[in-house]
């Protein structure tokens, strides 16, 4: 058994070997046309597992000596971990990691070991058939029609920033696009005549997303009257900023948060993704096809779309009033 300086050298060799494998995995993800954000997410999880969690448990072993036992231990560690552990100075309790976050981290590890086996870097895949941790089932929170109108009516549409913020909200609720897709839209991606926009989603996959006549009208007004006030004349982004580039995700997040505070929106956490949930739910409530919704939303599988196929509390209430057995008992 290696001891002293020999043990240190052996550990360094193991670390370097794992690092090289992760770098090769990164190249494989890039070749597979995965987005930079997705690749960064995978790498952060892998590095945290191999170079932070395992060493903290006194585990420094080659890849082929690691397996389910270590990952099960990691799951238990994650289940007891706090969200945003580095933000304790803010004096806020952010709670524990969500079941979705934990499942995502384990899915990333499982994908990595699958790649190792496929690329013949490992003789076996210990995670073939490994069950992912279950996620908590919760109702999807959406905005009501009244809340959406509150937000829109609180915007001063006669200023450049107000006109921009107004069309940002309209596009989010009318198309269901992700916030990352919205900020990347270019003028050349928009077909005003046909009322659709081309967006680039996960995996750099392009898709066509329609928008309504009302959004079309407001979009034309914004582009013709206000957009150039926000940027240099040669910018091609729909939501530009001075000195090229486009508006940031954080800028839109803060705008929506302040807007929600302004109108006194309570009992709902207002963030960009809630508009995506609201669009999908309302689309189906109005009779839209789940198959078409899948294409509009850019979901890779129908399973993701299915989470929107459920009745809202108000629907349950209406149906219960109409068909309640007890109400029927006491009818005169």
- Report, as an integer, the average pLDDT of 227-233: 82
Domain match, 106 and 151 both: no
191 vs 329, residue with greater confidence: 191
Would you say residue 164 lies in a domain?
Answer: yes
Query: Nearest 10 degrees: CA dihedral of 194, 197, 198, 199?
Result: -160
Mean pLDDT of the chain: 87
pLDDT band of 33, cuts 50, 70, 90 = confident
Higher pLDDT, 215 or 135: 215
- Helix axes of 160-175 and 272-285: crossing angle, nearest 10 degrees: 50
**pTM of structure:** 0.70
CA dist 214 and 220 (Å) reads 10
Looking at residue 311, its pLDDT comes to: 63
Indicate the number of domains in the chain: 2
> Which CATH number does the domain housing residue 170 bear?
1.10.443.10
Q: Which domain holds residue 162?
A: 145-315
Instruction: Give yes or no: residues 109 and 177 share one domain.
Output: no
Check whether residue 182 and residue 298 sit in a common domain. Answer: yes
pLDDT on residue 239: 94
Residue 300 or 271, more confident: 271
pLDDT of residue 1: 45
Same domain (yes/no): 269, 176 = yes
Q: Is 129 helix (H, G, I), strand (E, B) or coil?
A: coil
Cα 232 to its chain centre, rounded Å, is 30
Q: What is the pLDDT of residue 332?
A: 57
Structure confidence at residue 300 (pLDDT):
80
Q: Is residue 123 part of a domain?
A: no
Q: Is the pLDDT of residue 308 over 80?
A: no
264 and 167 both lie in a single domain: yes
pLDDT at 269: 83
Q: Is residue 210 part of a domain?
A: yes
């Amino acid at each position: 058994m290696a001891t002293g300086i020999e043990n240190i050298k052996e550990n360094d060799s193991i670390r370097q070997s794992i690092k090289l494998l992760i770098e090769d995995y990164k190249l494989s993800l890039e070749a597979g046309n995965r987005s930079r954000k997705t690749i960064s997410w995978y790498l952060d999880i892998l590095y945290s597992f191999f170079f932070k969690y395992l060493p903290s448990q006194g585990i420094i072993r080659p890849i082929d000596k690691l397996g389910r036992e270590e990952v099960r231990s990691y799951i238990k560690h994650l289940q007891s971990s706090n969200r945003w552990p580095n933000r304790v100075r803010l004096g806020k309790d952010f709670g524990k990691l969500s079941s979705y976050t934990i499942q995502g981290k384990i899915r990333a590890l499982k994908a990595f070991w699958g790649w190792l086996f496929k690329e013949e870097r490992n003789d076996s895949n210990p995670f073939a058939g490994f069950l992912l941790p279950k996620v908590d089932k919760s109702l999807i929170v959406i905005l009501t029609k009244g809340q959406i109108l509150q937000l829109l009516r609180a915007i001063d549409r006669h200023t450049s920033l107000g006109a921009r913020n107004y069309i940002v909200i309209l596009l989010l609720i009318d198309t269901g696009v992700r916030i990352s897709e919205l900020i990347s839209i270019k003028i050349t991606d928009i077909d005003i005549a046909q009322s659709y926009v081309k967006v680039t989603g996960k995996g750099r996959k392009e898709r066509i997303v329609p928008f309504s006549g009302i959004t079309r009208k407001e979009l034309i007004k914004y582009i013709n009257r206000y957009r150039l006030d926000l940027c240099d004349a040669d910018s091609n982004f729909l939501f530009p900023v001075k000195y090229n580039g486009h508006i940031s995700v954080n800028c839109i997040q803060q705008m929506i948060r302040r807007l929600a505070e302004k109108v006194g929106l309570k009992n709902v956490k207002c963030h960009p993704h809630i508009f995506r949930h609201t669009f999908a739910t309302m689309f189906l409530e109005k009779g839209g096809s789940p198959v078409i919704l899948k294409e509009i939303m850019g979901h890779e599988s129908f399973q993701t779309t299915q989470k929107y196929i459920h009745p809202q509390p108000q629907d349950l209430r209406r149906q219960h009033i109409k068909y309640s057995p007890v109400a029927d008992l006491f009818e005169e």
